[in-house]
Amino acid sequence: MLLIQILLIIFFLFALWKVILRYKAGDLTSGGLVFWFLFWVLAGVVVMIPNSSAYFAKIVGIGRGADLVVYLSLVVLFFMVFKLNVKMEKINKDITKIVRTEALNKKE
């Protein structure tokens, strides 16, 4: 096994441990737990058995397995950034509601 594989596996195990801790702390829903658990386990499988991504790459018509991983990562990252942005907007609106209610309660 290459050094990079070992380092990545250690990182994925650390990420899995954090996922479980977040779930236990109530910061993550059951759906979130399943998603992130599968995500990091799959990432571990791809790192340990690099040819596994090549199999899926061929199915979708991409030459190399590594390319498939990069493409998928980019799509997932963009989508998550977008979702985070929308969520932040919602939180911002909630803050506005609280600030407004407080201001109106103190009207002269």
Query: Binding other proteins by CB under 8 A: which of 18, 81, 89, 91?
Result: 89
Nearer to other proteins, 59 or 106 (CB): 106
Amino acid (1-letter code) at residue 58: K
Question: Which residues lie closer than 8 Å to 24 by C-beta, 6 or more apart?
Answer: none
d(CA 37, CA 75): 19
Contact between 96 and other proteins per CB under 8 A: yes
Contact between 58 and other proteins per CB under 8 A: no
Amino acid (1-letter code) at residue 76: V
Contact between 95 and other proteins per CB under 8 A: yes
Query: Binding other proteins by CB under 8 A: which of 7, 45, 86, 91?
Result: 86
In the complex, the smallest distance separating the C-beta of residue 98 from other proteins, rounded to whole angstroms, is 9
User: Tokens 């441990």, residue?
Assistant: 17
Contact between 100 and other proteins per CB under 8 A: yes
Question: Which residues lie closer than 8 Å to 69 by C-beta, 6 or more apart?
Answer: 46, 53
Closest CA to 16 of 61, 24, 86, 73: 24
* Positions in 3-22 near other proteins (CB under 8 A): none
Residues forming the site for other proteins (CB under 8 A): 82, 85-86, 89-90, 92-93, 95-96, 99-100, 102-104, 106-108
